[in-house]
Amino acid sequence: MFSKKTLIVIKRELRDKLFSKTFILMTVLIPVFLFGVLGIQTFLMSFESDSGSQLAIISENIDLTEKLQSAFNEAPIVKSGSYKVTFETQTKARFDAYLDESKKSILDGKLTGIVFIPQKAEQDKKVEYYSKNPNNNTLFNKTRNIINQALIDLYFTGRNLSAEDITFARESVDFSSYRVSSDEKIEEEGFGNQVLAFLFTFLLYFSLIFLGTMMMRAVVEEKNNRIVELLLSSISSKELMTGKILGNGITGLIQMAIWLLPVIVLISSSIFVLPAEFILKINLVHIVYFLFNFFIGLITFLGLFATVGAIFDNDQDAQSGVWPIMILIMIPFFISIAMLSNSENPIATVASMVPFASIIVMPARMTIIEVPLWQFALAVVVNVGTLLLIFPAAGKIYRVGILMTGKKPKWSEIIKWLKYKY
Amino acid sequence: MNALEVKNLCKSFGIVKAVDDVSFGVPEGSIFGLIGRNGAGKTTTIRMMMNIYLPDAGEVFLRGEKVTAAFKDKVGYLPEERGLYKKMKVLDTLLYFAELKGKSGKEVERKAVEYLEKFELADRKLSKIEDLSKGNQQKVQFIATILHDPEFVILDEPFSGLDPINTNLLKEIILDLKRQGRVIIFSTHLMDFAERLCDHITMIDQGKVLLSGSLKELKSKYGQKHVSLNFSGDISFLKNHPIIENIEDFGSTLGIKVKDPSQTQQLLKLLVDHNVLVNKFDANEISLHEIFIHVTGKESENVF
């Protein structure tokens, strides 16, 4: 299987791929693209849509309106000018008419929304929000506490309490917001790893599909061009397939290592100091695992793509016949992305140890949670086992397919190929 | 002494028996022709000889020993459908294929350049294959076949798709290799070429060997009582004539079989007496094409 001739094939593949324009371009463009995506996302998030919001706050109680007004005027969102708030006192009956009048300005976008605080809210704190876009969480989060403050103030004013008591009551509101900010801190701590998990998932997904398709094309070309017959007069199909897969695998590994270089530098040296919320909680062992996992996965998928390439003798047929393998890459990709918002997702836990899926899911999983050692070990065993299991079959289909031309074979025929004596 | 011995090769694809118990010997220093129509099983046989296919049954012997993977290094192979890496440079292509045959280093490079000069491609050695004309690509393929100095050269339908210039070039290469004592095996459905180039032939049809042997022996065996005639005029009087056994029309020539070898002179006289203009009268001569039709009882695909 592995011989001097395999090495010659590996050498040619490396020379052919490593110095090809496509390879160099992709190696440079993918990081640019990724940073571009991250940059645009950050930019969009900083440019939050709520700045310039026009809010009308209507309450039924003039005292409450006053308290709301003073609370809002103190609030940073109003001070910074990103929110413009008007206050009015109206009864429920009048409010309905007011709402009718305001409909046009809401639809025009002149008015972002109307918050109506009915009398009852003074007991149950239930307020109403009317807007073209009623599920505006950003706005709710920013105004919730301010309205709460005003309601608390009002609630205790009539109760003959000292200012101290009221301050005390308001403290409790601050206490609850402190808990929220403690949550935020946890989230910020994980932010760097979230980005990394996304990065890992995306790079794996992209690399497997990109290199796999390239491999498939190369095999189709060799078959279509009949170079393969000339090659087989010098080497065995096993040597050829092994050489091609290892050559392309090494190419992919080098590319991945180049892409991960910034991450490796960041975690292994103290030259660059990241802001606390971006600290990456992985170490070099993770990177080594990632590259090992990637290489095993790449070899597996290159074998599958090469097999599909050998079945068909033109690119179109191969493209339409490759879907079963694409699914093996895409489903784990979606599982992995879904896991980013719910790291304890049981599907992801299982997927990280299932053949094929493990290759994409496990690296992302290990960056966001502590994966027990036995799960790593199981994933490695599963992935290497899958590789060893599918290769004999893939090699057989490759060997038969590569010399079959003409009619597009049916799936049932391909199964029969496995029984051929070749 | 046979350099290569093919014994009882069989190969089926599903229910199709592509090669059915094929045996023949290839003598040292000969040009050996594997002859048959398209789909007769020639390429499958050659692929099994090269170990590209594993035979269902049968063996191939190289000078008395079973062939091994090392045999591949001793063979230069030119497949029927020829392709090269389009994006690879000419010299790189040649060196790659030579290296796969176990030859690398300065010596091979020097030889590659020598061949390129001989075939007037020296200035294209750094061009990509795709930038070469089809004819020049074929020349590169010829060089790739012989650059590693093989003992055996196997050519599968070598003349298909060649222009006249490359056809002649390839013929020269073949004769040159023969002078160097190499064994040349080629398959073809073109009887004319086989007849002009081969010393030995094996004829196969529907996966089975029809006949096998030296061309001379075969011709004298099948040529007896046979006259190859080229004429103009009316020969209908020969029908049912007592000395004639049968007449076969091969288009350009007529194959006439007389009942007794002594009757050929009588036939010539008959023709002259009936004012038939005789352009060619070849007694005891038979073309490979005629032998083929004789043994198969079918018309071959005559391309010319």
Q: How far is CA B134 from CA B131, B143, B162, in A?
A: 9, 14, 9
Contacts 24+ apart (CB under 8 A), B128-132: B128/B86, B128/B87, B128/B88, B128/B89, B128/B90, B129/B84, B129/B85, B129/B86, B129/B87, B129/B88, B129/B89, B129/B90, B129/B93, B130/B86, B130/B87, B132/B90
**Nearest-CA neighbor of A216 among A415, A75, A5, A402?**
A402
Query: A258 is written with which tokens?
Result: 């180049």
CATH fold, domain B225-283, is Alpha-Beta Plaits (3.30.70)
Q: Which residue in A16, A226, A416 is closest to B79 by CB distance?
A: A226
d(CA A74, CA A52): 17
A422:B53 CB<8 A: yes
Torsion over CA of B24, B29, B31 and B34, rounded to 10 degrees? Answer: 20
A–B interface: beta-carbon pairs under 8 A: 61
Q: Which residue in B79, B86, B100 is closest to A229 by CB distance?
A: B79
Half-sphere exposure of B132 toward its Cβ, with a 13 Å CA cutoff?
28
* Amino acid making up residue B219: K
- Does B75 contact chain A (CB < 8 Å)? yes
Q: Are A228 and A393 in contact (CB under 8 A)?
A: no
Which of A247-256, A302-311, B138-147, B186-195 shows the lowest mean pLDDT across its residues?
B186-195
Sheet holding B200-205, edge to edge: B75-78, B152-156, B183-188, B31-35, B200-205, B208-214
The single residue listed with the structure tokens 């809002």 is A72
* Amino acid making up residue A168: F
Suggest the residue from A5, A17, A234 to mutate for an interface test with chain B (most B CBs closer than 10 A): A234
d(CA B227, CA B284): 6
A235:B87 CB<8 A: no
- Does B25 contact chain A (CB < 8 Å)? no
Label residue B300 by pLDDT band (50, 70, 90).
very low
The single residue listed with the structure tokens 């692929």 is B47
Query: A381 is written with which tokens?
Result: 């065993």
A226:B144 CB<8 A: no
Q: How far is CA A144 from CA A118, A128, A141, in A?
A: 15, 12, 5
Distance from CA of B50 to the nearest CA of A (A): 6
Q: What are phi and psi of B254, to 5 degrees?
A: -115, 130
Distance from CA of A308 to the nearest CA of B (A): 20
Instruction: From first to last of the 422 residues of chain A, give the pLDDT tens digit.
Output: 578 899 999 999 999 888 888 889 988 888 888 777 767 766 666 655 556 677 788 888 888 888 888 888 877 777 777 778 888 888 877 888 887 877 777 787 777 788 888 887 777 778 888 877 777 767 777 777 788 878 877 777 767 777 677 666 665 443 333 323 334 444 444 467 778 888 899 999 999 999 999 999 999 999 988 899 999 999 999 999 999 999 999 999 999 999 988 888 877 766 666 555 556 667 788 889 999 999 999 999 999 999 999 999 888 889 888 999 999 999 999 999 888 877 778 888 899 999 999 999 999 888 888 888 899 999 999 999 999 999 989 999 998 888 887 778 888 888 888 877 65
Query: B161 is written with which tokens?
Result: 């798709």
Q: At the fourth CATH level, which superfamily is domain B2-215?
A: P-loop containing nucleotide triphosphate hydrolases (3.40.50.300)
Would you mind telling me the total number of residues written for chain A in this entry? 422
d(CA A136, CA B188): 79
Q: What pLDDT digit, counting tens, does each position of B54-106 carry?
A: 888 999 999 888 888 888 999 999 998 888 999 899 999 999 999 999 998 89
d(CA A285, CA A363): 12
- Could you give the domains of chain A? 4-42+189-417 (no CATH), 53-160 (3.40.190)
- Does B151 contact chain A (CB < 8 Å)? no
Please state the domain extents for chain B.
2-215, 225-283
Label residue B301 by pLDDT band (50, 70, 90).
very low
Query: A74 is written with which tokens?
Result: 């103190």
Find chain B residues with C-beta within 8 A of A8's C-beta.
96, 99-100
Query: A373 is written with which tokens?
Result: 């050692």
Q: Which residue in A222, A229, A236 is closest to B69 by CB distance?
A: A236
A225:B83 CB<8 A: yes
Q: How far is CA B280 from CA B194, B246, B254, B276, in A?
A: 22, 19, 10, 11
Q: Which residue in A221, A233, A416 is closest to B77 by CB distance?
A: A233
Q: What would the mean pLDDT of B103-130 be, rounded to a whole number?
A: 92
User: Could you tell me which residue, B297 or A317, shows the higher pLDDT?
Assistant: A317
Provide the 8-state DSSP code for A210: H
Q: Are A166 and A156 in contact (CB under 8 A)?
A: yes
d(CA A399, CA A308): 12
Query: A82 is written with which tokens?
Result: 């990103």
Q: What pLDDT digit, counting tens, does each position of B17-37 carry?
A: 899 999 999 999 899 999 988
Provide the 8-state DSSP code for A245: H
Find chain B residues with C-beta within 8 A of A422's C-beta.
53-54
d(CA A67, CA A78): 15
Q: What pLDDT digit, counting tens, does each position of B228-280 carry?
A: 888 888 888 887 788 888 787 777 778 888 888 778 888 888 888 888 888 88
| pLDDT for the residue A329 | 94
| pLDDT for the residue A173 | 43
Q: Give the Cβ contact number of residue A147 at 10 Å.
A: 22
